[in-house]
């Protein structure tokens, strides 16, 4: 395997994205930083930039860092991963791409969804309020789908789908085999 300079940058509210970012950095022997530690000027020396953030109401936390700088990032390989609670069906993944990126960004970014989890107890006050409103909405909804049922039960029992195996496609997309 050839060594390439890789940086992993992440933003994580409750630790799910952080754990995946750490697995990826370990496997690739890459440097790893939280988003607030990095400026766009810092990334020039890296061949591959990997950004990860949790999904919040469909948006990838901190994705503006990538999207606003897409022209600068074009000369690098850019990978984005999102973590969330949903199962990650093809439709859900297409929605994630279409609501976070325009066509040009989609062309320049390799996107992966890594299933995270949900821990109500670790949320900020604001997120607790938002999620309590969503819980009320779900409670009154008829014919919940499986994801919605899972979501409701996750309020009572933290749910954790993080699995190191889930990063293998992302890792394989950048490692050069000789």
Ligand X SMILES: Cc1cc2nc3c(=O)[nH]c(=O)nc-3n(C[C@H](O)[C@H](O)[C@H](O)COP(=O)(O)O)c2cc1C
**Residues in touch with ligand X (CB under 6 A):** 12-18, 54-58, 61, 83-86, 116-118, 123, 127, 130-131
* Crossing angle for the helix pair 125-140 and 146-156, to the nearest 10 degrees: 130
Q: Which is nearer to ligand X, 9 or 76 (CB)?
A: 9
Q: Which is nearer to ligand X, 18 or 76 (CB)?
A: 18
Distance of closest approach, residue 34 Cβ to ligand X, in angstroms: 11
Residue 119 burial by Cβ neighbours in a 10 Å radius (0-12, 13-18, 19+):
middle
Q: Which is nearer to ligand X, 76 or 86 (CB)?
A: 86
Contact between 12 and 56 (Cβ < 8 Å): no
Distance of closest approach, residue 67 Cβ to ligand X, in angstroms: 18
> 64 pairs with which residues across the strands?
none
Distance of closest approach, residue 65 Cβ to ligand X, in angstroms: 15
Distance of closest approach, residue 5 Cβ to ligand X, in angstroms: 25
Q: Which is nearer to ligand X, 43 or 55 (CB)?
A: 55
Residue corresponding to tokens 């607030």: 36
* Residue 42 to residues 4, 37, 141, 170, Cα–Cα distance (Å): 16, 10, 47, 23
């Amino acid at each position: 395997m050839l060594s390439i300079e890789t940086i992993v940058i992440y933003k994580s509210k409750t630790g799910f994205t952080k754990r995946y970012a750490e697995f990826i950095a370990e496997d690739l022997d890459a440097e790893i930083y939280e988003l607030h530690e990095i400026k766009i000027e810092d990334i020039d020396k890296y061949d591959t930039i990997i950004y990860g953030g949790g999904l919040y109401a469909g948006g990838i936390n901190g994705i503006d860092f990538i999207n606003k700088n897409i022209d600068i990032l074009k000369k690098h390989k850019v990978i984005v991963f999102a973590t969330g609670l949903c199962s990650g069906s093809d439709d859900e993944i297409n929605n994630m791409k279409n609501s976070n990126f325009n066509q040009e960004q989609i062309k320049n970014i390799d996107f992966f969804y890594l299933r995270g989890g949900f821990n109500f107890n670790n949320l900020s006050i604001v997120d607790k309020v938002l999620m309590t409103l969503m819980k009320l909405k779900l409670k009154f909804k008829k014919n919940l789908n499986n994801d919605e049922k899972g979501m409701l039960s996750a309020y009572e029992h933290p749910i954790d789908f993080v699995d190191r195996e889930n990063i293998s496609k992302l890792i394989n997309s950048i490692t050069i085999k000789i």
